[in-house]
Amino acid sequence: MIELAKYLLRRFFWMLLTVWIVYSVSFVLMRSVPGNPFSAERSVPPAIERQLRARYNLDAPILQQYTDYLKGIVTRFDLGWSIRLEDYSVNQVLAEGFPVSASLAIFALVFAIGLGVTAGVISAVYRGSTLDTSMMVTAVLGIAIPNFVLASLAILLFVFLIPVFPAAGWGTLRQVALPALCLGLPVAAYIARLTRAGMLEVLTRDHVRTAYAKGLPKRTVILKHVLPGALLPVVSYLGPATASVLTGSLVLEKIFALPGMGSHFIYAATQRDYTLAMGMVLTYTVLLFVMNTLVDIAYAVIDPRVKLQ
Amino acid sequence: MNELAPTSRLGDANEETLRRLLAEAENIHGVSLWQDAWRRLRRNRTAMLSLIFLILLVITTLITPLLPLQSPIDKDLDNRVFLSPNVTSISMGSRPGLKFQDTSLVAELNAFESSVAEERDVIAKLSDTGERQQAQAELDSRIDVEHPFNQLWNDLGPVSFAMCRLRVAVFGDFALPSVFGTDKLGRDLLARVFWGSRVSLVVGVVATLVSLVIGVSYGAIAGYFGGTIDALMMRIVDMLYSIPFIFVVIFLVTFLGEDSVKRRLDAVGIDQITIFYIIIGAIYWLTMSRVVRGQVLSLRHEQFVEAARTVGASPARIVFRHLVPNTLGIVIVYLTLTIPAVMLFEAFLSFLGLGVSPPDVSLGLLLNDGVEALSSVKLFWWVVVFPGAALALTLFALNFLGDGLRDALDPRMKNR
Amino acid sequence: MAVQTRRFLLMVAGVVAFAAIVWASRFDALPPAEMSFQNFSDPKTLDPHRATGEPESRLIFSLFSGLLEMLPEGAPDPDTGLQPMTPQPALASHFDVSDDRKRYVFHLRPGIQWSDGTPITSADFVWSWTRMLHPTTACEYNFQLFSVPFAEEYATGTVTEGDRVEVELWDRPGETEGNEPNPQAFPRGTILYGTLIKIRKPPPPELAEDASEGERADAEATWTEQWVYDIELARAAEDGSVNWNDVTETRSFVVDPSSPEADQSTTRVHGVLVAFDKLGGMEAPDPETFIVNLKNPLPYFPSLVAYYPLYPVPRHVVEEHGMPMWTKPENIVTSGAYQLDLRRLRDRVRLRKNPAWYNADEVKIELIDAMSMEGQNTALNMYETGQIDWVTDPPAALMDELRKRDDFVSAPQLTVYFYRLNTTRKPLDDRRVRRAIAMAINRKQIVEEVMKAGQTPALSLVPPGIAGYESPPGLVPDLDEARRLLEEAGYPGGRGIPKMTILYNTSEAHRAVAEVIQQQLQNNLNVKLELQNMEWGSFLDKVTQEDYDVARAGWVADYSDPNTFLDMWVTDGPQNNTGWSNKQFDGLIRDAASEADPVKRMALLSQAETIWIEDMPVIPIYFYVSLNIVSPRLEGFAPTPQDKHPIHLLRFREAGEARP
């Protein structure tokens, strides 16, 4: 337990460092990119632009902006007011978007893990059969098609050809199903391949042979003796999987008109909404960091040989 | 491993034994790792098919300008918008808007070349050197601007230009019919898929090579030195894993697309697409570095490394001459998995409108166009199916080849 | 790791995973609205003084009412089906105009109130217009009131000695001397009135030769803050009127107290502005009468009044909650047909009927969802599956199919699509090159094969369909002439033309047009153009900094008058951005602005457009049509010249009623 606490403490320190570096880099990047948050089709007269700059503390010397904003984040968790969505503070935007993105990601991951592991196990157990081949071909297909294409095809198929899901929107379980499916499918495909490879390797190990020799039923052997070991690569893939789910949701939110964080992420960056963009980058950084840490812990939990460091 | 077994330890064994051992050794046919892997790979049918497909793909992308394809950029808005796949033959330069002589590329090219030749004769007869040079420069600029190829292909490099010239010489006005259909601006999809694959594949390969260089050096250095340096370097990698890179990419793409920056880069001969490769490559090195570091970590106490160290090889030499070649197997496997990831990333950027800019074309751009035309109201299926199939097939092949290579290079599979 | 720990963690993980799934499956499903439509992107704000753009305007026109409103009048045009819209009384029951067309007297409807029951009075208009113009509000449309005396000086913060001014003391709520400023300009600090007798300026800052424009502007602004104003304060009466001749005392004021010119007696203030609301531009003699006096006889002034920046905002709510909190659904109070029920980012804005609206009986739909949705196919899919009733942005790729349908509503729109040319760069600084390029573009092909929705080729600037205005004959596309002009300009056969780039903001439609123009110029003139796309932010920056060769643009009429298209091209106009300058053109625009006779005025504007066409600082490409797909179950939807569709006029068709 103490070992774990120590580990978490150390990771927390690294997270702070990461967040700080990301903050600094994004700060510099954002301000070195051409364009400013107040550009509009009707060009803003200089007097008005100055007023706007003052409102967002953009008229202060650059170093002071850097420290002021950092101070706000550290002391009050205050990411400031969004410049483009001016009726909202960044915290409010996050509060609205995060639950949506989170539940989409959870559904997608649950779906991906469920489907991926099942498919992987089946295909490993019936290795070389037609079922195995077709599942693995499907899995590669899932990896080989960009998810915006996948989503568009899925809409045609499941909305128009066989009308089971609504076309877009957010708010009901039926509405979340199709985007979660599209988001989870590439991850599921990857997991299926990893599980299969892991299973095949573990199946040849001595302790499995022993278990079989003892006369244990096949199902017990696979679930109790093979699967935990075979899932190790899957667990270590969950960190990147989260990242890919978060990235993928940028696309799917656009196609399915979902009110998640992903679209803010792109808009904030392309529209030079300094505060919102910063809020998004920091949120994603923390999310990814937490996920990676969880994955490391999970790894140590499943595999006793692994030490947390 | 194919390094020589150290014989020095046998020094105090008696000569008889030594001779016997040597004789025995001569009878054993050493099978190198690579030969062994190749043997196993050859037995893997899917992997071999994939390899053949990929080799063919590389060849076709290299010689795309030679193939009798239609122009990838010529838009026949008046007659050929959203044509479904068909086999109606089409001849080059037949679109009236091009205003080619006899509506034929060959005729136009001949006319153009003969007029250039005439002018050249006139220039050759000029006596004054300065005048001649000036006339020559004028002619060159005229060729540059007025060459009929400008109408049909975009920015051909010297090699592609020569290939196009050869293509016209061989196939004349013949071009393959639009068997993939045409797109919303009346361009031939078959040609676009070929030219697009060319760009996508180049993006994939070059970006992967960039990631390879960064990842391998970084991983090898961390692994070789170990200890604090290793811990620190790997912590940095951990940290980078947590950075949402799309954001960085969006910013870099806009920053580097900035005119002043672009001009400066142009001056050193780097164009936007090169930068594009480098950015993507710079993102995908993380996993590579981890993998290489793991390998190097396990190799660095091997005897051949010790040996190199005792003979006084510098760390750099040890890392890049002795350690890195030994990680090649796993690196190749990861390469075949990184290329697909990069190609998908390119498609993703195209979806966001940050990819290559027209008239250049990539599979991502084509797919983005295709998805747009995918609607329940009217289904232009061919605009998405063919580019999608091209991308999927490429990625399929790369994935299967990667799997095959992994199996083949797995030492545990040796002699199986 | 100890076995117990591992087991414990496994359990924790199980519980957390389960909880996460349960949490994720809980949805607070909204009851469906009666009607919903695609409102494109998220509204930036719902504050009428801060908003710009289409999605915002659709919402604000439903939430707020003005003195006048643009409403359909008369029968639709028999050819185009276009429903004419005119400014008609809304919060004002009627208005009178003086003979010299400079004085407007608006009579408010009796009994009008905000959605919380507070009465709407003429004082609300005085206050709202002042807020709209106040520099801190930074309203992008504030120029629409610049025909009111002192409005421009007020909005831009220009004061000169001798002006009658207002001084806002440093005592906004929450402010103390030396404290950080309160960025909320409303409620305001104590206002003093007086006559500015002298401005004491410290020596202007010295800047390095190579200082950038931004640095210069900054230094200038910092310097301005150090000016000390000596003002003879005047006595203000109880009713708010000011007796300018009744001087009480003379005091000095400064924005930046550290100014070298300031002394002990100098008071820190937020700013010194002309006393706009006390100088006769607006009058509110009684709660139901609101009078506006103009500098020039502006024939389109009623159209401006009917535009949302001049709508009143609820003073009591703005002052209580401040900006932007007053626009939150729980705080906002509206004056229009609808009130704000709910606002979810990237999802929807829900409008609920406002029973306090003066014409509430006419509003037939109780609950409306404005969906924030940009994906063209997404919106169309939702429409096809019955999730929304009105698509405002149908995909161009499907136009051929969509146009055949009955639910497709389209008509010419007062909007022009054009390419700005940078007239300060070679070769576009040459009029002949500009004209040659303009002549070599085949607009018919673009309109018919790319846009495909019935747009019309544009050979002049002002779209047809503005009453009383006749555009001069446009440019005549002529390839031979184009080649000749190019040769004349020193580029025979396209040789020697420097590399040029078309800049456009990321969008499929813009890309398609740019690609086609690229091919046409290559085919027709051997002129090679490169394409560069940028997302909106960078794109605008490039254009405003005039750092481009050719840049795509579109211009929507702000009001139904040619002036909206023409006056942007005056020398150094804020929207000009081409570097083009023509003294004769400037003069004509100026003359037209002060011309009272509408016929003569139109003639002047037409002359100005002729000059513009001759000079071609910009290549017009096509005139837009409005594109809407509207469910047959809705009625009251008609195509209009500015693509404005008052939502409160929509209603559901009775069952069995056929579509006309």
pLDDT at B282: 78
The model's confidence at residue A309, banded by pLDDT at 50, 70 and 90, is low
Residue for token digits 């043997």?
B39
Beta strands (DSSP E) in C324-366 are: 338-344, 348-353
The model's confidence at residue A291, banded by pLDDT at 50, 70 and 90, is confident
Angle between helix A147-155 and B363-372 (nearest 10)? 20
Bridging pattern class, strands C228-236 and C191-200: antiparallel
Q: What percent of chain B has pLDDT over 70?
A: 91
Least confident interval from A83-97, B10-24, C604-618: B10-24
Mutate to test the interface with A, among B45, B200, B203, B243 (most CBs of A within 10 A): B243
The model's confidence at residue C587, banded by pLDDT at 50, 70 and 90, is very high
Cα separation, B145 vs C522, whole angstroms:
9
Cα separation, A274 vs A266, whole angstroms:
12
- Mean pLDDT, chain C, integer: 88
Residue A47 vs residue B187, higher pLDDT: B187
Please give the radius of gyration of chain C, using alpha carbons only, rounded to the nearest integer: 28
Which tens digits make up the pLDDT trace of A168-182? 888 788 888 899 999
Instruction: Examine the pLDDT at B26 and tell me if it is beyond 50.
Output: yes
Q: Is the minimum CB–CB distance between C22 and chain A shorter than 8 Å?
A: no
Q: Is the minimum CB–CB distance between B374 and chain A shorter than 8 Å?
A: yes
Cα separation, C650 vs C90, whole angstroms:
17
pLDDT at A39: 67
pLDDT at B415: 45
The model's confidence at residue C660, banded by pLDDT at 50, 70 and 90, is very low
Question: Which chain A residue is nearest to residue B287, measuring alpha carbons?
Answer: A240
- What stretch of H or E contains C200? strand C191-200
- Mean pLDDT, chain A, integer: 84
pLDDT at B317: 85
Q: Which of C137, C379, C536 sits opposite A271 (nearest CB)?
A: C536
Q: Which of A14, A239, A285 sits opposite B244 (nearest CB)?
A: A285
Whether residue B185 and residue C515 make contact (CB cut-off 8 A), yes or no, is yes
What DSSP designation does C496 have?
A: T
The model's confidence at residue B41, banded by pLDDT at 50, 70 and 90, is confident
The model's confidence at residue A42, banded by pLDDT at 50, 70 and 90, is low
Copy the structure tokens of residue C43. Answer: 């509204």
Among A residues 189-248, those touching chain C with beta carbons less than 8 Å apart: none
Instruction: Examine the pLDDT at A86 and tell me if it is beyond 50.
Output: yes
Instruction: Examine the pLDDT at C657 and tell me if it is beyond 60.
Output: no
Among C residues 216-275, those touching chain A with beta carbons less than 8 Å apart: 217-218, 221
pLDDT at C481: 92
Per DSSP, helices labelled H in chain A are 2-32, 46-55, 62-76, 90-125, 130-144, 147-155, 173-203, 206-213, 218-220, 227-230, 232-256, 262-270, 274-302
Q: Is the minimum CB–CB distance between C149 and chain A shorter than 8 Å?
A: no
Task: Provide the 10 A C-beta neighbour count for residue C410.
Answer: 22
Which tens digits make up the pLDDT trace of C540-573? 778 887 888 999 998 888 888 899 899 889 888 7
pLDDT at B5: 46
Which tens digits make up the pLDDT trace of C464-515? 888 888 889 888 888 999 999 999 998 888 888 888 889 988 788 888 899 9
Copy the structure tokens of residue C443. Answer: 């607009």
Compute the average pLDDT of residues C36-48.
Answer: 89
pLDDT at C442: 92
Mutate to test the interface with B, among A14, A133, A143 (most CBs of B within 10 A): A143
Among B residues 295-354, those touching chain C with beta carbons less than 8 Å apart: 353-354
Among C residues 478-537, those touching chain A with beta carbons less than 8 Å apart: 535-537
pLDDT at C426: 84
Instruction: Examine the pLDDT at B261 and tell me if it is beyond 80.
Output: no
Whether residue C508 and residue B369 make contact (CB cut-off 8 A), yes or no, is yes
Whether residue B372 and residue C531 make contact (CB cut-off 8 A), yes or no, is no
Question: Which chain B residue is nearest to residue C547, measuring alpha carbons?
Answer: B259
Contacts of C398 in chain B (CB under 8 A): 373, 375, 377-378
pLDDT at C520: 92
Instruction: Examine the pLDDT at A262 and tell me if it is beyond 50.
Output: yes
Instruction: Examine the pLDDT at B32 and tell me if it is beyond 80.
Output: no
Which tens digits make up the pLDDT trace of B135-167? 888 888 888 888 888 888 887 888 888 999 899
Question: Which chain B residue is nearest to residue C511, measuring alpha carbons?
Answer: B358
Contacts of C131 in chain A (CB under 8 A): none
Report the DSSP beta bridge partners of residue C198: C230
What DSSP line would sit under C62-75, residue for residue? Answer: HH---SEEEEE-SP
Cα separation, C569 vs C581, whole angstroms:
8
pLDDT at C261: 86
Residue whose C-alpha is closest to residue C85's, from C233, C270, C306? C306
- Mean pLDDT, chain B, integer: 83
Cα separation, C76 vs C412, whole angstroms:
13
Instruction: Examine the pLDDT at B8 and tell me if it is beyond 60.
Output: no
Q: Which of A26, A145, A160 sits opposite B392 (nearest CB)?
A: A145
**Torsion over CA of C507, B373, B354 and C438, rounded to 10 degrees?**
-40
Residue B193 vs residue C17, higher pLDDT: B193
Instruction: Examine the pLDDT at B6 and tell me if it is beyond 50.
Output: no
Instruction: Provide ipTM, 2 decimals.
Output: 0.87
Compute the average pLDDT of residues C135-158.
Answer: 88
Compute the average pLDDT of residues A60-66.
Answer: 85
Residue for token digits 């499916």?
A181
Highest mean pLDDT among B273-282, C95-104, C503-512: C95-104
Cα separation, B153 vs B170, whole angstroms:
18
Cα separation, B359 vs C532, whole angstroms:
10
Q: Give chains near B: 3+ CB pairs under 8 A.
A: A, C
Whether residue C512 and residue B185 make contact (CB cut-off 8 A), yes or no, is yes
